[in-house]
Amino acid sequence: MKLKQRVVITCVGLATLTIFYLLVETVYKINPNRLPTFLKNSLSNVGHEYDGSHISAIRKRLNKSNYTSDDFSPEGGGDKVSGVGKDTLHSSDDRRSRKDGVEHWAMSPLLLRINNTDSEVDLLLHKLQNYDRRKFDFTKLKPIPYYEYLKTLRKRIKRKGTSLDAFRTFIGSLTTSWERFHKGIHQYHLYSPDDSTVDDLLRDVAQEPIVDVEQKEGGTQLKLIITFSDEGQALFKPMRYPREQETLPNHFYFSDYERHNAEVAAFHLDRVLGFYRVPPTAGRVVNMTRDIKRLADHKLSKTFFISPANNLCFHGSCSYYCDSGHAICGSPDLLESSMAAFLPPEKIAARKTWRNPWKRSYSKHRKAYWEVYDDLCDKVKTKSPYNTGRRLLDLMDTHVFDFMTGNLDRHHYETFKDFGNDTFHLHLDNGRSFGKWRLDDMSILAPVFQCCKIRYSTFMKLAKFYIGPDKLSALMKAETSRDKLFPVLIQNHLIALDRRVIKILKEIYICIQNGNDISDVIEDDHF
Ligand SMILES: Nc1ncnc2c1ncn2[C@@H]1O[C@H](COP(=O)(O)OP(=O)(O)OP(=O)(O)O)[C@@H](O)[C@H]1O
Ligand SMILES: [Mn+2]
C-alpha cells in the first residue's frame, strides 16, 4: 500500500472513531439508559457524568416563546416572552443541576444524618463577619437561643402597621378567639407573636364542637368549611396519605393530593421563622359520622358510603378526585384533618390575588420561562409592585419558605387590599408541601439565585439555625408537639429542613462568590 493510501485510511479511521465517540456521548447525555452498560460505564468513569447542561443548550436554541409566558410579567404587565432578555442560562442552570443529594439520601437511610456543617457556609459566615461585625457578629450570636434572637430581630424592626379598616374604629370587647384573631390582623403580620390569641385559636379549632359543614366551592380538591359552636370557621383538609408516603416520582406536583399534615407543619414553620403569614392551623381527628355526615347537606351526604373494608368514606363533589376511586375514608369513621382558621370574609377584608412571577407551568409538556432563562428577575425588579418597598424581598421569603417545605404549587399569593402594596404576602394553601423528604428541589429557590437576593432578617434566622444552639428540626419538633396530630412530620422531613437551611446559605455563598455586593444580596428592609 502506498504511503498516501495509508494516511488516507488512517485519517478516515480516526474520523469514524471520533464521530462514533461523539455520537455515543450525545446519546449518553440525552438518555444514558439507551447505551449498553460498558459504554455507559466507560463514559461515566472518565468524568462525563451527565449534568443536564447540554439539554439546556438545546433549549436555549429554541425560540423563547416556546415556554409558558402568561405569568412572565409582574402584575398588570402583558409582556410576551419572545425575543427578550439575554442568555444567562449557565450560572443558575449549573447550580440547579448541582448534585442535590437525591440519590445519596435515597440509597442510604443511615446517611440521613447529614453533616451539620458545610465548608462553604463556614467561609460565607466568616467573610460576612469580617465585612461588617455589627450586622454579622456570629461569634456573639452563637450561644444565644434562637427565640431570644428572634425577639431582638423583632425589636429592631418593631412595627406592625395599621389594622384592617373594619377594626380601626372598633370599640367594644371581643370574646371569641377567632374575632380577636381578625382584629389582630395588621399590615405587617397576620398575627402578633406576643398575643396569646393564636394559641387560643389553635385550641378552639382543634376542639370546639362542629355545628355546620359546607363544601368549599372552587379549587381542585375537596375542602370543607367547618363552622364551630362559637361561630368561628375553619378550612378543613382531610388526610389522604399517611405521613410516611412520599409523592410518587412520576407524579407531577399538580396531580398530587394535598396533605393535611403539611398544612399544620407549614403554619408552625412560618411561625418559627417569625414570618406570621400563614393562618393558624391545627390538626384534628374528626368523627365523620357525627361531625360531617350528620351535618352535610343532601348533595354531600349522598356521596358517603361504606367501603369493602367496612370504613366510612365520602368523596364530595369537585373538579378532580371527587369520585369513589378517590374517596376519603375513616378508620372506621375517625379521620385526621387540618383546620385552618378562616380569614375575615371578603366583605370585611377584601384580598388581592397576585400571580407569582415564578409560577410553574401546569402543563406536562411545557416549561415556565424562568426554568429555561435566567433573566426574569431583571424584568420583575423593574415593575410594580416589586420595584419599590418590600415586595421583592417578600417574594424571596415566599420561595425560601416554599423551598423548605418543598412546595412547588405557589401559583398565586394574596394580600389584604386595605394595606395596599406595603404589606406581607399571605401564604395560604400549603397542602402540597412536605411530599418528598429525599429531594431538595433547587428550582423552588430560582428567584433567590436568579435575583441573588434575600432579606437580611431571613438570612440571619437561617444562619442562626446553622450556628445553633437550636436546630430548626428540634424547634419544629417542639412546636408541633402540642398538636393533636403529633408527630406532624416524620423525622426524615425534620432532618430535611436542617439540610435545606444549609442549601439556601450555600446559594447565598455562590451569589457573593460571583462578585455580587454583599449589601445587594443580603438586603435590609428600608423603612
Ligand atoms: N384560612 C383561609 N381562610 C379563608 N380563605 C382561605 C383560607 N385558606 C384558603 N382560603 C381560600 O380558599 C382558596 C382555596 O384554598 P386552597 O388554595 O387551599 O385550595 P385548592 O383547592 O388547593 O385551590 P387550588 O386547587 O386552586 O390551588 C384559596 O385560594 C383562598 O382564597
Ligand atoms: Mn392548592
What average pLDDT score do residues 134-155 get?
A: 96
Please tell me the distance from the alpha carbon of residue 225 to that of residue 356, in angstroms, as a whole number.
Answer: 26
The confidence score (pLDDT) of residue 254 equals 81
The confidence score (pLDDT) of residue 2 equals 61
Angle, alpha carbons 471-476-482 (nearest 5°): 140
Instruction: Find out whether 258 is annotated in a ligand binding site.
Output: yes
pLDDT tier, 10 (very low <50, low <70, confident <90, very high otherwise): low
**Each residue's pLDDT tens digit, 462-473:** 999 999 999 999
Q: In b/e form, how buried is each residue of 67-97, taking b as 16+ CB within 10 angstroms?
A: bbbebbbbbeeeeebeebbeeebeebbebbe
Angle, alpha carbons 513-519-525 (nearest 5°): 135
What average pLDDT score do residues 473-484 get?
A: 98
Instruction: Find out whether 38 is annotated in a ligand binding site.
Output: no
**Each residue's pLDDT tens digit, 364-419:** 889 999 999 999 999 999 999 999 999 999 999 999 999 999 999 999 999 999 99
312-314 β-sheet, strand order: 305-306, 312-314, 328-329
Please tell me the distance from the alpha carbon of residue 317 to that of residue 313, in angstroms, as a whole number.
Answer: 13
Catalytic, 409? Answer: yes
Dihedral sign, Cα of residue 199, residue 200, residue 201, residue 203:
positive
Closest residue by CA, ligand 1 atom 8: 428
Q: Which one of 178, 356, 428 would you pick to mutate in the ligand 1 pocket, going by the greatest count of ligand atoms within 8 A of its CB? A: 428
Angle, alpha carbons 457-458-459 (nearest 5°): 90
Please tell me the distance from the alpha carbon of residue 476 to that of residue 494, in angstroms, as a whole number.
Answer: 7
The confidence score (pLDDT) of residue 81 equals 34
Closest residue by CA, ligand 1 atom 21: 219
Instruction: Find out whether 75 is annotated in a ligand binding site.
Output: no
**C-alpha dist (Å) from residue 217 to 124, 214, 260, 295, 317:** 48, 9, 18, 17, 9
In the numeric block, which cell numbers belong to residue 360? 410553574
Peptide bond into 469 cis (omega under 30): yes
pLDDT at 87 > cutoff 80 = no
Peptide bond into 357 cis (omega under 30): no
Contact partners, residue 89, CB within 8 Å, separation at least 6: 56, 60, 372, 373, 374
CB 234 within 8 A of CB 339: yes
Atom of ligand 1 nearest to the CA of 234: 1
pLDDT at 58 > cutoff 70 = no
Dihedral sign, Cα of residue 200, residue 205, residue 211, residue 212:
positive
> What separation in Å is there between the alpha carbon of 139 and the centre of ligand 1?
43
Instruction: Find out whether 237 is annotated in a ligand binding site.
Output: yes
Instruction: Find out whether 429 is annotated in a ligand binding site.
Output: yes
Angle, alpha carbons 131-136-138 (nearest 5°): 120
pLDDT at 36 > cutoff 50 = no
> What separation in Å is there between the alpha carbon of 432 and the centre of ligand 2?
7
**118, 409, 441, 498: the active-site residue:** 409
The secondary structure element, H or E, covering residue 313 is strand 312-314
Identify the CA nearest to 478 among candidates 269, 204, 190, 275.
269
Q: Say if ligand 1 is within 6 A of residue 262 CB.
A: no
Q: What share of the chain is helix, strand, coil (3-state, %, to 5)?
A: 45, 10, 45
> What separation in Å is there between the alpha carbon of 57 and the centre of ligand 2?
33
> What separation in Å is there between the alpha carbon of 216 and the centre of ligand 2?
13
The confidence score (pLDDT) of residue 211 equals 98
Peptide bond into 345 cis (omega under 30): no
Closest residue by CA, ligand 1 atom 9: 428
> What separation in Å is there between the alpha carbon of 209 and the centre of ligand 2?
27
Please tell me the distance from the alpha carbon of residue 431 to that of residue 414, in angstroms, as a whole number.
Answer: 16
pLDDT at 424 > cutoff 50 = yes
Q: Residue 485 burial (CB < 10 Å; 0-12/13-18/19+)?
A: buried
In the numeric block, which cell numbers belong to residue 525? 428592609
The confidence score (pLDDT) of residue 16 equals 62
Please tell me the distance from the alpha carbon of residue 93 to that of residue 98, in angstroms, as a whole number.
Answer: 8
**Each residue's pLDDT tens digit, 95-128:** 444 433 333 343 334 444 456 899 999 999 999 9
Q: Say if ligand 1 is within 6 A of residue 429 CB.
A: yes
Q: In this structure, what is the dihedral angle of CA atoms 116, 127, 140, 402, given to the nearest 10 degrees?
A: -50
